[in-house]
Structure 1
Amino acid sequence: MLRPWQISLGERLDPARATPIYMQIIQALIRDIESGRLVSGTFLPSSRELAAILGVNRKTVVLAYEDLIAQGWLVSAGTRGTMVSTSLPESTRADAPLPEGCAVEADYEFLAPPVRPLAIPAGSALKLDEGAPDGRLFPAAILTRAYRTAINRASRENRLQYRDPRGSPKLREAIATMLKVQRGLPVTAENICITRGSQNGIFLASQVLVRPGDAVIVEHLTYEPAVAAFRARGAKIIPVRLDGDGIDVEAVETAARRHAVRAVFLTPHHQFPTTVALRPERRLRLLDLSRQFGFALIEDDYDHEFHFETQPLLPMAAYAPRQVIYVGSLSKLLLPTLRIGYLVAPPPVVDAVAHYVSLTDGMGNTLTEDTAAELIANGELRRHARKVHQIYAERRETFARELDRAFGGRVHYRMPDGGLAFWLRFDDDLDRIEERISAAGLSFASSRSFMTSNEAERGLRVGFASLDAKEARAAIEALRTAAFG
């Protein structure tokens, strides 16, 4: 019996791959059918013949044929043999089969990410992060014990099920108490929705606030992933000026008179990336504008605990809960890998946010959230906060000394009152400096990733908290060498 199909499977089978041989045969046959090399009604070699051609056990081919028949790709024609199903449509594809591991392009339209890079260091090179904590400082044994307690308690209480998209009740209660006692927010658990970090909280806030075409005001230097979240909702981004006292509220008023502003995003405690704090008089003026023009304030308080000079200012949400959606995180205080943040707002807003959580995240992570609640309840979080606050204060001083030693007057900075990073400004051409830093293998966030306006002052945000004294010296020396030789 003629078999017009030219056998090419042997070129694709690789015993060294983790995929079983019979599955490789199935995949290869489906690719040939889908690409048009095998058309409907084509007879295949018998299982014995194909096994001999491929140098495999006949049972392997039989298993592949049986699976393809069950799926509907092939049909058994009795004594005539096995052929490609005649019910399959003719393929319009003319693509050659792709080699294993080859990159595949999409045949459909999709929304590509923005050309401008997000402000996230990547790669395996030495990383100059933007203010990450040192995960080595949190004892693994304490975290393990808290997880064990949370798992056992959830099992006893039958809470290993689907649950409230607003998050673990235990953690919501714990965070509400923490915010009320330590930051003065007038909240209960009903005001709290647990998120997968502060960025997730910002994204969720954008979902309930912003419609396509709405204007969102941001500072002309800001946190780029937040801007990307607003743009993904179709927002019109309005950048306004920033100075040593924070966002320019007169520029905010001007923008609000010209545009239908739905929200203002800002980081008033330690402005990202410059680290400056928003002055009290500007905070109050901004709240007046919020009431006047009806926009919401999204207050990202990503590292509230780390203030090294005077007492930190209260969050704006503490005295204006009706105007503010407050976003915070335990990532800087505990571990970034735990991915625990929270959004604080009036209960109807929290319910609206929870709806979007249910669409994208389902139910969160009860065990991790209960573990965090256990660490708050047993005092471990407060003990850890006191310990790392002292360590990071010392590292801030060390980092400043190393900057002065390595750069002298060739880099400018203002000692940050709080936060976990420095904002560095250079007299030299920053484009050239960044090119040399990249060429030297250092990973860092580009100065342009912070900019929403070409008029914004450029600089590099470099974290110090994740580096001990030896690592800080090495990182700064590498930065100096890469920048200036």
Structure 2
Amino acid sequence: MFNDSSSRLADGIRAWIGTAAPGARLPSTRHLVAEYAASPVTVQKAIRALAAEGLIECRPGVGNFVRTPRSARPQDYGWQTAALGSPRGTSPGSAAALRTAPPGAQELHSGYPEAELLPGRLVRAALVRAARGASATSRSTSAGLPDLRSWFATELADLTPAGLAGPTANDVLVVPGSQSGLTSIFRALVPPGQPLLIESPTYWGAILAARQAGAHLVPVPSDAEGPDPDALDRALGETRARALYVQPNYANPTGAQWSPDRAEVISDLVRAHGAFLVEDDWAHDFGIDSDPRPVAARDTAGHVVYLRSLTKSMSPAIRIGALIARGPVRERLLADRSAESLYVSGVLQEAALGVVTDPGWRTHLRRLRGQLRERRDLLAESLREHAPGLHIDHVPKGGLHLWARLPDGADTDRLVRDCETRGVYVAPGHQWFPAEPSGPFLRLNFTGPNPQGFPAAAQTIAAVLAGQ
């Protein structure tokens, strides 16, 4: 980093460069020292900064010169069109949830909680401890650290009813985040071109990963209690699909949580058709008015491939998750993970383990439940009072989002653009549908910064919707 004196000197030289001809020689170091009353060290720091910016060219033994602009000849990359062929999937950059909002904007579009809702102190302390340990200079096994695998297995086993065998550490694979886990699952379970049943609407990242894996997506309509059983039975029979992707707890984007009865019916159908159920338990730590009920906790025959992530609840910098699978499918997943990335960073695994085994982790989650409830209720009340044109079918019992239906015929993309110009960022619902959307929706995140701005944001949405 440069100090204030070198920065001021660099600004003075920039001004001189602006009036000098290309190729002009800069004044000598001795001259600059005298003119700016700066030390030789300060002058050299400023020269290095300007060279790094590409403004000057340093020639040892000769001097420093204003860099001559070079006319760049446009490159022709047309040959790549034929070599690459047609793309298999869509670009993740098009996802509304990944847009970076400018400072001061009301962020209702993101899929991550703000830093205030994360256990920052625990994460920083765990990273320091991990960096000092053996994991900083050693490689982890492909399956992951044994102690971390044991923690993931124990968490799910504690939710398993008495009389049923819960998972063990040998059933667990540590992955670098849930997105990577989804990619491996879809590659392992669904051959390219074959059908994958998927809830509609559902997580856009799962849609992207499935398309990148070459799967043919078959949407199954879902309501506040889960996938429609009749539609699922029909789709399984007609397509002979080998897998169904679902989010039984606090689904993204709707926030729906399966009822116990619906979960039992769906599990029976999957077993009857000899298929896999891919359970994405992304919001396990975000219960508000209920606790998560993983379907995998009642699986006894290896039909459920369970995905659990710590990234959103711990820190975006700790991309750690786990796959839990039993039987031959576990070995197939391990082979894919080994070919994809060999192993997951041992430092990140140690840090994640340090956080979840710290007594402060449970304290954090208890406090988080109340924080999520306050924010959810504030956003829901703001929409009811200031934007009655948006319809909230149900207030979710957990998760991070509200799923709002717009009036029929609303131009969602225009509304998103117009809200953005007024400083309110929202996510258009059509990106969460694997096929044509069933209507115009917005997904609104209640865990972003500045919850005090929810009422004003709701007023902005209503004004844009009214065409004001």
- Asked if these proteins are the same fold (TM beyond 0.5), I'd say yes
Per-residue deviation, 1:103: 8.0
Q: Contact (CA 8 Å) 2:409, 2:440: kept in 1 or not? A: no
Match of 2:341 among 351, 361, 369: 361
8 Å Cα contact 1:413/1:422 also seen in 2: no
Partner of 2:189: 209
Deviation at 1:291, TM superposition (A): 2.0
Post-superposition shift, 1:413? 4.0
Residue 90 of structure 2 is matched in structure 1 by: 114
CA–CA distance in 1 between the matches of 2:112 and 2:91? 25
Query: Which amino acid in 1 is paired with 2:270?
Result: S
- State the AA in 2 paired with 1:107: W
Q: Provide the residue aligned with 2:270 in structure 1.
A: 290
| Structure 2 CA distance for partners of 1:475 and 1:198, relative to 1, 3 Å | farther
| Equivalent residue, structure 2, for 1:99 | 72
Structure 1 pair 479/176, CA: closer, same or farther in 2 (3 Å)? same
1:411 to 1:252, Cα distance in 2 relative to 1, 3 A? closer
Q: Distance in 2 between matches of 1:412 and 1:21?
A: 55
Contact 1:412 / 1:426 at 8 angstroms: preserved in 2? no
User: 1:475 Cα deviation (Å)?
Assistant: 3.4
Contact 2:387 2:461 survives alignment (8 Å): no
Q: Secondary structure at the match of 1:338?
A: coil
What does residue 18 of structure 1 align with? 52
Compared CA separation, residues 357 and 428, structure 1 to 2 (3 A): same
Distance, in Å, in 1 between the alignment partners of 2:171 and 2:319 is 20
Q: For the Cα contact (< 8 Å) 1:119–1:225, is it kept in 2?
A: no
Say whether 1:350 aligns with 2:311. Answer: no
* Distance (Å, rounded) in 1 between the aligned partners of 2:231 and 2:432: 19
Distance 1:351 1:326 in 2: 14
- Correspondent of 1:445 among 413, 427, 434: 427
Equivalent pairs counted in the alignment come to 403
Distance, in Å, in 2 between the alignment partners of 1:140 and 1:220 is: 34
User: Aligned partners of 1:374, 1:347: CA distance in 2, in Å?
Assistant: 29
* 2:160 maps to 1:180: no
Tell me how far apart the structure 2 counterparts of residues 98 and 183 of structure 1 sit (CA, whole Å).
67
Q: Which amino acid aligns with 2:416?
A: E
Alignment-mate amino acid for residue 79 of structure 2 = D
1:9-47 CA distance string (max 9 Å, x none): x99xxx95538999x9xxxxxxxxxxxxxxxxxxxxxxx
Looking at structure 2, the residues matched to 183 and 474 of structure 1 have their Cα atoms a distance apart, in angstroms, of 45
Aligned equivalents of 2:323, 2:119: Cα separation in 1: 27
The answer to whether the aligner puts 1:166 opposite 2:167 as a matched pair is: no
What is the match of residue 406 of structure 1? 386
Query: In structure 1, what is the equivalent of residue 297 of structure 2?
Result: 318
TM-score (norm 2): 0.77
Contact 2:419 2:461 in 1 (8 A): yes
CA 1:143 to 1:190, structure 2 compared with 1: closer, same or farther past 3 Å?
Answer: same
Secondary structure in 2 matching 1:300:
strand
Judge conservation of contact 1:269–1:301 (CA < 8 Å) in 2. Answer: yes
Shift of 1:319: 0.6
Task: Give the Cα separation in 2 of the matches to 1:294 and 1:333.
Answer: 34
Paired position in structure 2 for 1:226 = 206
Q: Determine what percentage of the aligned residue pairs are the same residue.
A: 26
Measure how far apart 1:219 and its partner are. Answer: 2.0
Which blocks of at least 5 consecutive residues in structure 1 are unaligned?
1-9, 25-54, 61-96
Contact 1:123 1:443 in 2 (8 A): no
C-alpha contact (below 8 Å) 1:307/1:417 kept by paired residues? yes
| Residue 421 (structure 1) aligns with | 401
**1:464 partnered with 2:443:** no
User: Mean Cα displacement is larger for which, 321-330 or 434-443?
Assistant: 434-443
Matched with 2:308 is: 328
Alpha-carbon offset, residue 460 of structure 1: 1.0
Deviations 1:286-343 (A, max 9, x none): 222222222211111111232222444x211011151101111112321122111111
Helix, strand or coil at the partner of 1:476: helix
Say which one has the larger Rg: 1
Distance 2:112 2:197 in 1: 26
For 1:337 and 1:474, locate their aligned partners in 2 and report how far apart those are by CA, in whole Å.
Answer: 31
The correspondence of residues 373-384 of structure 1 with structure 2, limited to 5 A, is 373-384=353-364
Normalised TM-score (structure 1): 0.74
Q: Which one-letter code corresponds to 2:247 in the other structure?
A: T
1:78-157 matches, within 5 Å, as 99=72, 105=77, 107-108=79-80, 109-110=83-84, 112=87, 113-114=89-90, 117-118=94-95, 120-125=97-102, 126=105, 127-154=107-134
2:317 partner SS? helix
| Separation of aligned partners in 2, 1:202 and 1:174 | 21
Structure-2 change in CA distance of 1:103 and 1:254 (3 Å): farther
Query: Contact (CA 8 Å) 1:309, 1:418: kept in 2 or not?
Result: yes
The amino acid that maps onto 1:315 is: P
The 10-residue stretch of structure 1 (251-260 or 275-284) with the greater mean CA deviation from structure 2: 275-284
Q: CA deviation at 1:346?
A: 1.1
Q: 1:162 touches 1:363 (CA, 8 Å); kept in 2?
A: yes
Q: List, as ranges, runs of 4+ consecutive aligned residues in structure 1 with deviation greater than 6 Å.
A: 19-22, 57-60
Over 3 Å counting, the alpha-carbon distance change for 1:115 and 1:380 in structure 2 is: closer
Give me the whole-angstrom Cα distance separating, in 2, the residues matched to 1:297 and 1:103.
48
Q: Say which SS state the counterpart of residue 439 (structure 2) adopts.
A: coil
Equivalent-residue separation in structure 2 for 1:468 and 1:451 (angstroms): 29
Q: Aligned in 2, Cα 1:448/1:139: closer, same or farther, shift over 3 Å? A: closer
Q: Which residue of 1 aligns with 2:18?
A: none
How far has the Cα of 1:164 moved from its partner?
1.0
**Secondary structure of the equivalent of 1:187?**
coil
Distance 1:387 1:103, change over 3 A: farther
Provide the rounded CA distance (Å) in 2 between the counterparts of 1:119 and 1:57.
49
Partner of 1:241: 221
> How far apart are the structure 2 equivalents of 1:134 and 1:123?
13
